[in-house]
Structure 1
């Protein structure tokens, strides 16, 4: 059983970052074209489709999405409303095409208006695992290697977001991905110290300036893997399977100096945790419910939209005003007979954290969605 966690993981079967878990393989295997026998891609080929964030030629005009429910209250200014960003794949790529460096036009980072659902291609660059700075101006990503179906980064690079032709700076010669500080001046870079694909996984966490200088190893337990850093810099959210009284991966918070370790989840998790803009609350997914809770454990709220009871959720992201939480969702019935003919229908849910009202946004034509951000401005 894979027991680590990160950007490309999910919690139904396993958690692994940035390696695709068994659950992600199942997700990709449910794509409609895989139901065909002779000309369909193999499961291994589909796995590599999930590994590759491919670039799409930038489209200058907005394209309409579909909102199942009405959007947010009109009249909000752009900064309060913000913009959603998500990685989308529109066409599958085979292993042979991947090895030839083809398929650069098949995906990218998409920007969506959280009110109207209108979308555009925001960053047409071939990326695998990435993170966007809080001010939306920079990307952290890296070169990668793939071995036996697992993906890992081998360094960390910084480039201007939205300009794939901009200069790229390598800021760290190791690392599996990077998490930005709230002001964008620092990074925390996790480094997998155990053999790729082997359990139990162990990690080191390195804090550094965004240019790679002033590196300090953080005293975070080696069984923990970072998911998020609070905007005020006081807390880190991690995932870990290392607890005596529970199974699966659970969400923890810990201070950068190693103090204050506290478990936040009651059941095993299946999505990235994220901090609210005021750094007072945490959002994550336990099985099929979206949970928000104060960092001291009080005011715990659990949301399971009725129309989404058969779905599975992955990434979470808070709205800039802290009133809503977005998450990526897809169909995944527990019954394998139902699942065999089930369309994945990747989508984004926006949930009001006061009354639990949910609405849905879609990226027409997207076969796969992952890595969700909600930025102001």
Structure 2
């Protein structure tokens, strides 16, 4: 409860969103789309303390036009963040990325997924994919729910050809 506090501002931002609490509650990760920055239009992931102090640029993802750092999810031990990005060539290419909590090791681990969610032990990620057009967050369309190893290997279908909205995947706390 209590009064909401402003913890992040971006005066050049066209978009500020996808906040995600670290598992220990010490940091909040969020994405920012900056228009007109000295480096051009760019997308970044930042972390900040819950009281708004110590904002830190985690990673600069470069130029992107839409949904470039969404679905942020911390690994259970707080060492990694996973997120999806709709960017690249052809336009609208979906991918899941991971990055270490210190901002190093940015890596694309999947080429067609959205909304990553870490397993309780951090060994796997659940995600959705849409083999046909559609699947923009908030829309309901036919797709698949899968899991994969945290390095992107060993993708296993859990549900296929079902009506899904690619928002808010969550694991049972016991796995």
TM-score normalized by structure 2?
0.71
Deviation at 1:319, TM superposition (A): 1.2
TM-align CA RMSD: 2.7
Q: Which segments of 5 or more consecutive residues in structure 1 lack a partner in the other structure? A: 1-159, 161-165, 196-200, 323-377
Deviation at 1:258, TM superposition (A): 3.5
2:6 counterpart (156, 170, 174): 170
The DSSP-based 3-state class of the residue aligned with 2:6 is strand
Note if 1:194 corresponds to 2:30: no
Deviation at 1:179, TM superposition (A): 1.4
Contact 2:46-2:59 within 8 A present in 1 as well = no
2:50 counterpart (210, 219, 226): 210
The 5 A counterparts of 1:288-367 are 288-305=143-160, 309-315=161-167, 316-322=169-175
Per-residue CA deviation, residues 219-243 of structure 1 (Å, 9 max, x unaligned), is 2423441421212121111222444
Per-residue CA deviation, residues 74-133 of structure 1 (Å, 9 max, x unaligned), is xxxxxxxxxxxxxxxxxxxxxxxxxxxxxxxxxxxxxxxxxxxxxxxxxxxxxxxxxxxx
1:179 counterpart (20, 26, 40): 20
Deviation at 1:188, TM superposition (A): 1.3
Count residues in correspondence.
Answer: 149
Aligned residue for 1:272? 115
Contact 1:219-1:256 within 8 A present in 2 as well = no
Q: C-alpha distance in 2, partners of 1:310/1:205?
A: 32
Q: C-alpha distance in 2, partners of 1:257/1:168?
A: 27
Per-residue CA deviation, residues 112-162 of structure 1 (Å, 9 max, x unaligned), is xxxxxxxxxxxxxxxxxxxxxxxxxxxxxxxxxxxxxxxxxxxxxxxx3xx
Note if 1:225 corresponds to 2:65: no
Q: Which segments of 5 or more consecutive residues in structure 2 lack a partner in the other structure? A: 131-142
Q: C-alpha distance in 2, partners of 1:304/1:250?
A: 19
Per-residue CA deviation, residues 21-69 of structure 1 (Å, 9 max, x unaligned), is xxxxxxxxxxxxxxxxxxxxxxxxxxxxxxxxxxxxxxxxxxxxxxxxx
Q: C-alpha distance in 1, partners of 2:125/2:46?
A: 23
Deviation at 1:303, TM superposition (A): 2.0
Q: C-alpha distance in 1, partners of 2:57/2:111?
A: 29
Q: C-alpha distance in 1, partners of 2:57/2:107?
A: 20
Q: C-alpha distance in 2, partners of 1:220/1:280?
A: 26
Q: C-alpha distance in 2, partners of 1:246/1:282?
A: 25
Aligned residue for 1:281? 124
Q: C-alpha distance in 2, partners of 1:310/1:218?
A: 35
TM-score normalized by structure 1?
0.35
Structure with greater proportional strand content: 2
Contact 2:47-2:55 within 8 A present in 1 as well = yes
The 5 A counterparts of 1:139-178 are 160=1, 166-174=2-10, 176-177=16-17, 178=19
Contact 2:94-2:111 within 8 A present in 1 as well = no
